[in-house]
A and B are shown apart, each in its own frame.
Chain A
Amino acid sequence: MSENIIELKNVVKSFGNVNAVDGISMTIKRGEVVGLIGDNGAGKSTLIKVLSGVHKPDGGEIYLRGQRVNNWNSARSRLSGIETVYQDRALAVQQSITRNIFMGREIVNRFGFVDTSKQYQEANRLMREIGFTSKVFDPDSPVATLSGGERQGVAIARALYFDADLIILDEPTTALSLTETNKVFSFIENVKARGRSILFIGHNIYHVYDIAERFIVLDRGRVILTLDKKDTPSAEYLIETMHDIARSGHTTSEVKA
């Protein structure tokens, strides 16, 4: 159970003179649920985009199941069993629900032609499973006709479909109602039960506390705190510790409670 799915070593990513990710090292083990916390602009989304291959890091190393990877990109990360629900949902809103679910990983024959009826059926099944709305979905409807929660459902259904080893969720509950939020949580419990890993980003520390087994706190592109759940008696304790660090100005990545 202690196999590393992915490991980052001293990863750096800058935009102009903004060091969005400033030398971050972290690992995610098989079956582990990690919560990533930090203020707006702390670098959470940038970090996961390096992980998922969207951003090429300016420095540092990425190890996938112990193997150093080069030329990491989104297609590779998906094929290696990493699915990401991005903060912006990564949807193409004029396209159908089906096309969005299979975007970039279409079911094709050997000539590259898409098996549209298979995709339609799978999308239909998936949307019912997710059950994000009581209404009957038409997988042919463009995503633009869906509500925010339903769009989120499409993005999550997509991550679910490919049975990934690691699912990254960047603020998946933003803009969701209470029931929809609970659905996301039960989805995470499901994934956990199947021995898959999750990297969960959230603003709501109480949510993150409930879900994750380990917490990583970012501040201005650096890891300022990592805590295991067993060393964290409550969400309040987590918040308190974060405030302490912010006040004392520590920036080491090895502050332990």
Chain B
Amino acid sequence: MSTQSIDQRKGRDEANPFVKWLRNNRRVLTSAGFLAAMLIVFIFANPNVFTQFRTYRSVMIILPISIFMVVPLVFITTAGEIDLAFPAIIGLASYSFALIVDSGGNAFLGLIAALVTGALFGFLNGALVVNLGLSALVSTLGMNFLLRGLINILAQGYSRPVSEIRGTVLQQILTGNHIFGIPNQMFWALLFAVFGMFLYNYHKFGVHTHCIGDHPGSSKEMGINVNRTRIMLFVFSGIGAAIAGIFSVMINFVWYPTTGDAMLLPVLAGIFVGGTPTWGGIGTVIGGVFGVSIVSFIETGVIAAGLTGFYTQFVYGIIIISSLIGHRLNGDRIR
């Protein structure tokens, strides 16, 4: 980068704090803009459907599950790692929840059991990657097969209805009432995202996550406990998966052996569409929320626009690629 362009950059900073704010937040703003643009296209394509609140509410019923998952995955991606085991951990953690509730156990106990399961297998992922030095991409992919296989062996293909949870205090709080027509789980998910955003930008854990993804060697030299932070990131991902799994069961009132399976690609896409790049060191939690929202609206939008379901994947592809182009055009990669 030439000296001149640096000077221009500095000059801009001084001139206008608003421009500086825009520049510092350009990734999240790009993904917000993308979501808005996409919804506008849908509104024009089918005003009937996309001016009705019902449409948005139906998306907001299940969108929270993806939000719980995408937040820790943005952390993991920022650290330069990847976790492909989350779908199976969602399945396994919610299985322990469903087992306890279905056998007459306390729902809070089930919740704890699910969280412990998620944290434990997250830790296992972290230990494999950090202590044994396995590639995160391959070992978590292997873990995803392994744990889904374990679920299949344990459940023998049977679903678990957990209708006894309906109407309990826990269920009422988490996925019960609608406030202004917005399902409760949406508020919990947004609360989680805001918590994640503060953790990511202002907590030591989040700051270290950035530094590690940016340059693990420098981070180590400056005294950051790189290995411990990396393991904690996988534990965080496991906990996110557990919460996603609990909500999934609380929303559907049934646990399937496939719970979580279909989330792999949409949630991964949401990370990158939301503005967190693959190379590590930077990213945005709120962008990730926009990212999974974009992905969630695609299917509804495609059908509502009068296209058949055959178009869904095609449109997915267009949106993922064009959003990446959008992020790239909107800022240089500086590493």
The answer, yes or no, to whether A4 is at the interface (CB within 8 Å) is no
Is the CB–CB distance between A95 and B223 below 8 Å?
Answer: no
- Tell me which residues across on chain B come within 8 A of A146, comparing CB atoms: 6
Q: Report B189-206 CB contacts with A as 1/0, cut-off 8 Å.
A: 000000000100011110
Is the CB–CB distance between A113 and B198 below 8 Å?
Answer: yes
The chain B residue with its CB closest to the CB of A79 is B223
The answer, yes or no, to whether B224 is at the interface (CB within 8 Å) is yes
Is the CB–CB distance between B220 and A74 below 8 Å?
Answer: yes
**A49, B335: Cα distance in complex, Å:** 25
Q: How far, in Å, is A53 (CB) from chain B's closest CB?
A: 8
Q: How far, in Å, is A255 (CB) from chain B's closest CB?
A: 33
**A76, B225: Cα distance in complex, Å:** 11
Which of A49, A78, A145 has a CB less than 8 Å from the CB of B223? A78
User: Known: A94-B281, A135-B10, A136-B10. Contact between A144 and B221, CB under 8 A?
Assistant: no
Is the CB–CB distance between A145 and B281 below 8 Å?
Answer: no
User: Known: A54-B220, A135-B10. Contact between A113 and B335, CB under 8 A?
Assistant: no
Is the CB–CB distance between B204 and A92 below 8 Å?
Answer: no
Is the CB–CB distance between B211 and A95 below 8 Å?
Answer: yes
Q: How far, in Å, is B198 (CB) from chain A's closest CB?
A: 7
Is the CB–CB distance between A75 and B225 below 8 Å?
Answer: yes
Give the interface segment out of A27-35, A98-106, A210-218. Answer: A98-106
**A212, B65: Cα distance in complex, Å:** 62
> Helix, strand, loop or mixed for chain B's interface?
helix
User: Known: A136-B14, A138-B13. Contact between A104 and B219, CB under 8 A?
Assistant: yes
The answer, yes or no, to whether A163 is at the interface (CB within 8 Å) is no
Q: Report A42-64 CB contacts with B as 1/0, cut-off 8 Å.
A: 00000001001110000000000
**A111, B198: Cα distance in complex, Å:** 12
Which of B1, B198, B221, B223 has a CB less than 8 Å from the CB of A86? B221
**A67, B68: Cα distance in complex, Å:** 49
- Tell me which residues across on chain A come within 8 A of B202, comparing CB atoms: 113-114, 116
Q: Report B217-246 CB contacts with A as 1/0, cut-off 8 Å.
A: 111111111000000000000000000000
> Helix, strand, loop or mixed for chain A's interface?
loop
The answer, yes or no, to whether B282 is at the interface (CB within 8 Å) is yes
Is the CB–CB distance between B217 and A99 below 8 Å?
Answer: no
The answer, yes or no, to whether B20 is at the interface (CB within 8 Å) is yes
- Tell me which residues across on chain A come within 8 A of B334, comparing CB atoms: 93-94, 142, 144-145
The chain A residue with its CB closest to the CB of B224 is A104
The answer, yes or no, to whether B102 is at the interface (CB within 8 Å) is no
Q: How far, in Å, is B23 (CB) from chain A's closest CB?
A: 9
User: Known: A95-B281, A135-B10. Contact between A104 and B214, CB under 8 A?
Assistant: no
The answer, yes or no, to whether A36 is at the interface (CB within 8 Å) is no
Q: How far, in Å, is A234 (CB) from chain B's closest CB?
A: 35
Is the CB–CB distance between A91 and B215 below 8 Å?
Answer: yes
Is the CB–CB distance between B203 and A103 below 8 Å?
Answer: no
Is the CB–CB distance between A113 and B203 below 8 Å?
Answer: yes
> Interface centre among A73, A91, A105, A111, by most B CB within 10 Å?
A91
Is the CB–CB distance between B223 and A92 below 8 Å?
Answer: no
Q: How many residues of B contact A (CB 8 A)?
A: 34
Is the CB–CB distance between B218 and A92 below 8 Å?
Answer: yes
The answer, yes or no, to whether B156 is at the interface (CB within 8 Å) is no
**A184, B7: Cα distance in complex, Å:** 24
Is the CB–CB distance between A95 and B210 below 8 Å?
Answer: yes
- Tell me which residues across on chain A come within 8 A of B219, comparing CB atoms: 92, 103-104
The answer, yes or no, to whether B9 is at the interface (CB within 8 Å) is yes
Is the CB–CB distance between A112 and B203 below 8 Å?
Answer: yes
- Tell me which residues across on chain A come within 8 A of B282, comparing CB atoms: 94
Is the CB–CB distance between A141 and B220 below 8 Å?
Answer: no
Q: How far, in Å, is B196 (CB) from chain A's closest CB?
A: 14
The chain A residue with its CB closest to the CB of B215 is A92
**A91, B207: Cα distance in complex, Å:** 14
Q: How far, in Å, is A79 (CB) from chain B's closest CB?
A: 8
The chain B residue with its CB closest to the CB of A138 is B13
- Tell me which residues across on chain A come within 8 A of B218, comparing CB atoms: 88-92, 103
- Tell me which residues across on chain B come within 8 A of A177, comparing CB atoms: none
Q: Which residues of B in the span 53-104 have a Cβ within 8 Å of any Cβ on A? A: none
The answer, yes or no, to whether A26 is at the interface (CB within 8 Å) is no
- Tell me which residues across on chain A come within 8 A of B205, comparing CB atoms: 112
Is the CB–CB distance between B203 and A145 below 8 Å?
Answer: no
The answer, yes or no, to whether A84 is at the interface (CB within 8 Å) is yes
**A95, B220: Cα distance in complex, Å:** 15
The chain A residue with its CB closest to the CB of B1 is A145
**A106, B210: Cα distance in complex, Å:** 13
The answer, yes or no, to whether B24 is at the interface (CB within 8 Å) is yes
Task: Identify 11 new A-B residue pairs, CB closer than 8 A, beyond the known A104-B219, A111-B203, A112-B204.
Answer: A53-B223, A54-B220, A74-B220, A75-B224, A92-B214, A93-B335, A94-B335, A95-B214, A104-B223, A135-B10, A144-B1
Q: What is A's interface to B at a CB cutoff of 8 Å?
A: 49, 52-54, 73-79, 84, 86, 88-95, 99, 103-106, 108, 111-114, 116, 135-136, 138, 140-142, 144-147
The list of the 5 closest CB pairs from A to B, nearest first, reads A104-B222, A92-B214, A75-B223, A104-B223, A144-B334
Q: What is B's interface to A at a CB cutoff of 8 Å?
A: 1, 3, 6-7, 9-10, 13-14, 20, 24, 198, 202-205, 207-208, 210-211, 214-215, 217-225, 281-282, 334-335
14 contacts between A and B (CB under 8 A): A74-B221, A75-B224, A92-B218, A104-B219, A105-B222, A108-B204, A113-B204, A114-B204, A114-B207, A135-B10, A138-B20, A142-B334, A144-B1, A147-B3
